[in-house]
Copies of this chain bind each other. A is one copy, B any other.
Amino acid sequence: MIIILKRIILASKSSDRSEILKRALIPFEIFVTNIKEEKYKTKFPNAIELVKELAKAKMLYAKNELIKKKIDGIIIAADTIVLLNGEIIGKAHNEEQAFSILKRLVGKSHKLITGIAITDIQTSKIIFDTDTTIVEFLELTDEEIWQYIKTNEWKGRAGAYSIMDKANLFISKIIGSTSNVLGLPMHKIYQILKKEFGLHLF
């Protein structure tokens, strides 16, 4: 059993991020932020900068709201994007968009980039980091892509796929961290919480 003296607050509504933390047996609470991601995309065309700024915006939003509610704790915020040949690819909003994203990703490699921003509400210390995983897809027929879309795994996920679910059928290789592909690079979070915030996750 782990005894963590600080509350950990995940500033994200992603079910994948919640699942990773739960499966790592880390007690946490969720605080859903409300950031207009679209305007950041035009302001920060560089992928690494974009995910960092989005993670920061989510973290600051959560921090302000939690201070108002006099809630203390460590906030973990994150943002994930897909980068294909230098182009930032976000989330699909309907099945047609999911198809066009997946159609572009099959048969080649893309980068999955997550930015994280971690802060202690009390001390105001902030640590940023990013993690990149290369993900390689097999070729798929259009019919297979459509069948995959029917699983609804594309919903709310950068790149329109879920590495924990049916997408394993066409992910032939990754280089980097699996948890990063799920939206939280856990090896980096573990190290930052230990070194920078004195929190031990084991």
Contact A144 B202 (CB under 8 A): yes
**Dominant secondary structure at the A interface:** mixed
- A169-202, CB < 8 A from B: 169-179, 181, 186-187, 189-191, 201-202
The answer to whether B170 touches A173, judged by C-beta atoms less than 8 angstroms apart, is no
Can you list 26 residue pairs at the A/B interface with Cβ under 8 Å?
Answer: A1-B150, A20-B168, A23-B168, A24-B169, A140-B202, A143-B202, A147-B202, A148-B202, A163-B178, A164-B164, A166-B202, A168-B178, A168-B187, A169-B186, A169-B190, A170-B187, A170-B190, A171-B177, A171-B187, A172-B177, A172-B187, A173-B176, A174-B174, A174-B177, A174-B178, A178-B181
A148 to B171, CA, bound (A): 29
Determine if A138 is an interface residue (Cβ-Cβ < 8 Å).
yes
Q: Any chain B CB within 8 A of the CB of A5?
A: no
Tell me the bound Cα distance from A202 to B190 in angstroms: 36
Complex Cα spacing A20 to B191, Å: 28
Give chain B residues whose Cβ lies under 8 Å from the Cβ of A122.
Answer: none
Residues of A within 8 A of B (CB): 1-2, 20, 23-25, 138, 140, 143-144, 147-148, 150-151, 163-166, 168-179, 181, 186-187, 189-191, 201-202
Contact of A175 among B164, B175, B179, B202 (CB under 8 A): B175
B165 engages A171 (CB within 8 Å): no
